[in-house]
Amino acid sequence: MDSLSVDHLIGIKDLTTNDIELIFKTADAFKQVINRPIKKVPSLRDITIANLFFENSTRTRLSFELAEKRLSADTVNFSAASSSVKKGETLIDTVNNILSMKVDMVVMRHPNPGAAKFLSERINATVINAGDGTHEHPTQALLDAYSIRERLGEVKGKKVVIVGDILHSRVALSNIFCLQKLGAEVMVCGPTTLVPRYIHELGVKVEHNLQRALEWCDVANMLRIQLERQEIKYFPSLREYSMQYGLNKEILDNLSKEIVVMHPGPINRGVEITSDVADSVQSIILPQVENGVAIRMAAIYLLASKIKRE
């Protein structure tokens, strides 16, 4: 059986193009499974997975839980808000206590960049990063690229613009790595204050004018403004941001070609995207969510097959 080059899924940066293609091929098979009347396979009956969420999540958390259940794994769920972390317990102590209950794999979302890697170097379990602060969100990037492949046939040669709060976005960084590994051209677009100065070193184009960016691209990935990570004001008001960087139907309809619109969620309707765009036929926002389950099943399955049994 083909296998991944990594034992943990910390970031897209660590994956080879073959790894990504193997995840996609495996996800193709699981997508068929989750569209059958019986949506389950017994593959991971001997695996226990802990979902540790130290930060809010709707899509990622539910998607991982469903993926694990579809693979017949046993799961335990942990939320920092209702845990002993509030009583001062460290991350390592919290996780080691959970692992002593014979857990094989940890899926973790954490507000600190590097938290998933830190954990993977200190515990005896497979770690999947479900988003670490402003760093990476590898399964989101995989499901995004998989959704582009599904809609447009392939990712190679496609032009993808990522619009919005690039500075605070783990989705942007993971998407840049993933799309480039698959041969797409990537542009970022946003106010100068929300586009990091070093970004061109990653080989992406930078454009501050939304209209020009949209005319260039085949796919626009609209990001949310991450107000929860902003300690200072990066633009005068949400209204002003929306007037310059919000995607509405009039802009979309006046482009010289039909583009695909994506959003990782959660959406702020009327800020980065209007409802008529989010709900249009050009939007693949809900297929992205559907594909997230198949992609996460594939990542979990492939990583579980690397766990060494005593």
Q: State in angstroms the smallest separation of the CB of 293 from ligand CP.
A: 13
Report which DSSP code applies to 60: H
SS3 state at 109: strand
Q: State in angstroms the smallest separation of the CB of 18 from ligand CP.
A: 26
Figure out which of the listed residues 59, 69, 159, 205 binds ligand CP, where binding follows CB under 6 A.
Answer: 59
Q: State in angstroms the smallest separation of the CB of 188 from ligand CP.
A: 18
**In this structure, are residues 8 and 303 in contact, taking their beta carbons and an 8 Å threshold?**
yes
CA distance 305 to 242: 46
Instruction: Using the structure block, give the residue that is written with the tokens 């998607």.
Output: 63
Q: Which helix (H) or strand (E) holds 189?
A: strand 185-189
Stretch that binds ligand CP, among 3-11, 16-24, 225-233, 261-269 (CB under 6 A): 261-269
140 binds ligand CP (CB under 6 A): yes
138 or 196: CB nearest ligand CP:
138
Stretch that binds ligand CP, among 54-62, 99-107, 159-167, 298-306 (CB under 6 A): 54-62
43 or 109: CB nearest ligand CP:
109
Stretch that binds ligand CP, among 17-25, 56-64, 151-159, 249-257 (CB under 6 A): 56-64
How distant, in Å, are the alpha carbons of 35, 93, 120, 218, 264 from that of 124?
A: 34, 13, 8, 43, 31
Which single residue brings its beta carbon nearest to ligand CP?
60
Residue 133: CA count within 13 A, CB half-sphere: 10
Locate 28 and state its tokens: 């193709």
Q: State in angstroms the smallest separation of the CB of 61 from ligand CP.
A: 6
Figure out which of the listed residues 138, 164, 196, 264 binds ligand CP, where binding follows CB under 6 A.
Answer: 264
Figure out which of the listed residues 5, 35, 58, 84 binds ligand CP, where binding follows CB under 6 A.
Answer: 58
Return the amino acid letter for 261: V
Distance from the Cα of residue 102 to its chain's centroid: 28
Q: State in angstroms the smallest separation of the CB of 268 from ligand CP.
A: 13
140 or 274: CB nearest ligand CP:
140
Binding mask 97-136 for ligand CP (x = CB under 6 A): ----------------------------------x-----
Q: Which of 198, 196, 197, 128 is nearest to 168 (CA)?
A: 196
End-to-end CA distance of the chain: 21
Q: What is the dihedral of CA 212, 213, 219, 220, to 10 degrees?
A: -120
Q: State in angstroms the smallest separation of the CB of 139 from ligand CP.
A: 9
CA distance 222 to 45: 38
**In this structure, are residues 221 and 262 in contact, taking their beta carbons and an 8 Å threshold?**
yes
Figure out which of the listed residues 26, 43, 51, 60 binds ligand CP, where binding follows CB under 6 A.
Answer: 60
- Give the catalytic positions in this structure: 59-60, 87, 109, 137
Q: How many residues sit close enough to ligand CP to count as binding (CB under 6 A)?
A: 11
Query: What residues make contact with ligand CP under the rule CB under 6 A?
Result: 57-61, 131, 137, 140, 264-266
